[in-house]
């Protein structure tokens, strides 16, 4: 007989009834539908059959000898096999209390006797659909659990990678305290610290756009570049240019890094700060706000480097009993009651009101008390620099000792090297590595670059600088230079540096010599001293610039060797 309901050939029913006639009636209806039927004459047998076979639905009588239908249902429901098996009570009882007992025992529905085939089929169809829906939900739940487990594993792996990439012993420096709290497993906040070869402590606190994995993807690459540049002694402005260029090339257009770079020069009791998009960096001494370093530049990765070296740190002398505080926007953008933000003003007031050394703890407590939500919604990073502790500990372990050491070095460049290598950047890195005149880096770069250029172009290559007096001459000059470099097969340039921190001040002697024929340096020097501007310019802009920057400039016959002394103004 077809009741308009599709057959369910894969379903197995357990029919439980101590009356064979009732059991046979139910079995006949179910078999006609194409179901498989297993019967049990009492509660004990029903439980055993349920254990032995994969049952899809149970039709349970209530009143049976021994274990009744209530208890049998309880035991069947207790046999959790990871699936949902509907139990439908088949009963002549109409008492509401008895029917309520069916539900309490774990029953899902009931069918009243005498049995209506239409009602029975409708109930079966509805509960089979419910069971199938349950199976679908369970399968989806298992898939989601698998995805969740894999995601958590991947996040934990990524977290370990980020932790290893950003770890540094410099973060454990006495006098440096930090608090780092990600809003998720992974964070866009970054805190890096390292010591340059001259002993200066360099700290980068930053915040990538967004939160979680999307924000954290840039952290390992940035950390690797940062620590490499710090170890090489790269000037902070050049570091920022290098980091900006890497982020601009590697990040998507909607992602960038707000950051603050802090340099602590313990030997000179100076601190330098550069801020691009971060909350104000504050220097506090004896409850007074000594300085506020507000954002003065675009975040890193927004645009290409338009003017190399423009990202300069602002330096100040460090007062006694002073502390520096820097944080990510997870501090100032904490929302309180009514949606108001903690803000820069509260940040400043909290730090000014704190007793010496307690600003770090006071600020964290104030922010936590101010927050209306139970959990932070943003990544949070805070650092405190206790300068007295930093400087005393730096002295104990000998940082900055390179400042008092005199040294000499010589670089010899043959024709093959001259054709492919610009020696000025490595010479500048050497000066930084050995702690020499860091604050005069730009002026020193100009001096070394001009002396080397003159030795290469006019000494080794034999080019005539008079060609550069007009626009057409410039083009001709550099065309000849390119051809001369391509044909270069002989010639050498020697660059000698002597760092001499004597009693009269810190200075560096730079000597550049080439294997060229030399030139009439006395005429050139006389012309550069001339009050006639045209004559002075004709003598050469490079020589004029070097003489303006250096304390002494001395040429040696036949003019292919020059020695200058640059003295620091600091």
Residue 285 lies in a domain: yes
Question: Could you give the percent of the chain with pLDDT greater than 70?
Answer: 90
Q: How far, in Å, CA of 101 to CA of 505, rounded? A: 99
User: Higher model confidence: residue 92 or residue 353?
Assistant: 353
What is the domain-level CATH number for residue 425?
Answer: 3.30.565.10
User: Higher model confidence: residue 227 or residue 310?
Assistant: 227
Task: Return the pLDDT at 569.
Answer: 65
Task: Return the pLDDT at 9.
Answer: 53
Question: Could you give the percent of the chain with pLDDT greater than 90?
Answer: 45
Phi, psi of 130 (to 5 degrees): -65, -40
- Per-residue pLDDT for 363 more than 80? yes
Domain check: are 390 and 443 in the same one? Answer: no
What is the domain-level CATH number for residue 374?
Answer: 3.60.40.10
Residue 156 lies in a domain: no
Domain check: are 341 and 208 in the same one? Answer: yes
Residue 135 banded pLDDT, cuts 50, 70, 90: confident
Domain boundary among 371, 396, 421: 396
- Residue 48 burial (CB < 10 Å; 0-12/13-18/19+)? exposed
Token duo for residue 432: 């930084």
Domain check: are 359 and 441 in the same one? Answer: no
Q: How many residues does the chain have?
A: 570
Domain tally, the chain: 3
Domain boundary among 338, 372, 396: 396
Residue 556 lies in a domain: yes
User: Higher model confidence: residue 265 or residue 536?
Assistant: 265
pLDDT digits (tens, 9 = 90+) for 247-268: 999 989 889 999 999 999 988 8
Residue 1 banded pLDDT, cuts 50, 70, 90: very low
Domain check: are 338 and 410 in the same one? Answer: no
Domain check: are 388 and 433 in the same one? Answer: no
Residue 145 lies in a domain: no
Span 336-345, mean pLDDT? Answer: 89
Domain check: are 233 and 178 in the same one? Answer: yes
Nearest to 390 by CA among 380, 381, 400: 400
Residue 144 lies in a domain: no
Domain boundary among 396, 417, 444: 396
Task: Return the pLDDT at 322.
Answer: 95
Least confident of 5-14, 37-46, 130-139, 461-470: 5-14
Domain check: are 193 and 301 in the same one? Answer: yes
- pTM over cut 0.85: no
Residue 152 lies in a domain: no
Domain check: are 310 and 425 in the same one? Answer: no
Bridge-based pairing state of the strands 109-112 and 87-91: parallel
Domain check: are 115 and 198 in the same one? Answer: no
Task: Return the pLDDT at 31.
Answer: 92
Domain check: are 330 and 272 in the same one? Answer: yes
Span 3-32, mean pLDDT? Answer: 80
Question: CB of 213 within 8 A of CB of 158?
Answer: yes
Domain check: are 389 and 414 in the same one? Answer: no
Span 260-289, mean pLDDT? Answer: 94
Span 408-426, mean pLDDT? Answer: 89
Phi, psi of 393 (to 5 degrees): -70, -35
Residue 160 lies in a domain: no
Q: How far, in Å, CA of 329 to CA of 133, rounded? A: 47
Residue 161 lies in a domain: no
What is the domain-level CATH number for residue 71?
Answer: 3.40.50.2300
Span 471-475, mean pLDDT? Answer: 71
Task: Return the pLDDT at 539.
Answer: 45
Could you write out the DSSP letters of every residue in 311-353?
Answer: -PPEEEEPPTTEEEEEE-HHHHT-B-GGG-B-HHHHHHHHHHH
Domain check: are 193 and 244 in the same one? Answer: yes
Residue ranges making up the domain that contains 236: 167-396
Least confident of 288-292, 333-337, 343-347: 333-337
């Amino acid at each position: 007989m077809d009741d308009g309901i599709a057959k369910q050939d894969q379903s197995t029913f357990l029919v439980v009834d101590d009356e064979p006639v009732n059991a046979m009636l139910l079995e006949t209806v179910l078999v006609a539908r194409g179901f498989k039927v297993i019967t049990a004459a009492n509660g004990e047998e029903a439980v055993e059959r349920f254990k032995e076979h994969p049952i899809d639905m149970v039709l349970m009588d209530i009143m049976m000898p021994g274990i009744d239908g209530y208890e049998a249902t309880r035991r069947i429901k207790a046999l959790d096999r990871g699936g949902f098996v509907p139990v439908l009570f088949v009963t002549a009882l109409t008492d509401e209390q008895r029917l309520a007992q069916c539900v309490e025992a774990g029953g899902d529905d009931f069918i009243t006797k005498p049995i209506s085939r239409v009602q029975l089929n409708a109930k079966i169809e509805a509960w089979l659909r419910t069971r199938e829906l349950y199976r679908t939900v369970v399968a989806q739940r298992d898939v989601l659990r698998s995805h969740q487990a894999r995601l958590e594993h991947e996040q934990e792996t990524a977290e370990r990678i980020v932790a290893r990439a950003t770890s540094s012993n410099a973060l454990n420096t006495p006098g440096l305290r930090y608090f780092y709290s990600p809003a998720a497993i992974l964070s866009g906040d970054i805190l890096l610290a390292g010591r340059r070869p001259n002993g200066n402590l360099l700290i980068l606190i930053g915040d990538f756009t967004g939160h979680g994995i999307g924000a954290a993807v840039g952290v390992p690459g940035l950390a690797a570049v940062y620590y490499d540049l710090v170890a090489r002694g790269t000037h902070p402005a050049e570091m920022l240019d290098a980091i900006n260029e890497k982020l601009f090339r590697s990040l998507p257009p909607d992602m960038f890094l707000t950051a603050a770079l802090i340099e602590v020069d313990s030997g000179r009791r100076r601190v330098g700060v550069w801020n691009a998009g971060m909350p104000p960096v504050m220097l506090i001494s004896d409850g007074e706000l000594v300085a506020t370093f507000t954002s003065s530049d675009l975040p890193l990765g927004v645009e290409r480097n338009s003017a190399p070296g423009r990202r300069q740190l602002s330096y100040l002398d460090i007062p006694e009993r002073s502390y520096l505080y820097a944080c990510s926007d997870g501090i100032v953008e904490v929302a309180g009651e009514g949606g108001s933000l903690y803000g820069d003003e509260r940040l400043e007031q909290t730090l000014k009101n704190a007793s010496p050394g307690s600003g770090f703890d006071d600020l964290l407590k104030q922010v936590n008390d101010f927050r209306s939500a139970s959990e932070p919604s943003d990544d949070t990073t805070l650092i405190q620099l206790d300068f007295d502790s930093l400087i005393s500990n730096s002295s104990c372990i000998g940082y900055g000792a390179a400042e008092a050491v005199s040294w000499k070095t010589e670089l010899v460049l043959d024709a093959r090297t001259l054709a492919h290598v610009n020696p000025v950047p490595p010479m500048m890195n050497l000066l930084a590595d050995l702690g020499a005149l860091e604050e005069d880096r730009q002026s020193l770069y100009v001096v070394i670059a001009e002396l080397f250029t003159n030795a290469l172009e006019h000494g080794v290559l034999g080019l005539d600088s008079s060609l550069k007096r007009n626009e057409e001459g410039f083009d001709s000059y550099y065309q000849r230079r390119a051809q001369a470099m391509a044909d270069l097969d002989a010639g050498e340039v020697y660059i000698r540096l002597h760092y001499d921190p004597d009693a009269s001040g810190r200075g560096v002697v730079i000597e550049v010599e080439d294997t060229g024929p030399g030139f009439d340096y006395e005429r050139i020097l006389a012309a550069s001293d001339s009050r006639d501007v045209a004559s002075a310019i004709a003598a050469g802009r490079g020589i004029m610039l070097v003489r303006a920057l250096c304390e002494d400039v001395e040429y040696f016959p036949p003019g292919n060797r020059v020695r200058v002394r640059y003295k620091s103004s600091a």
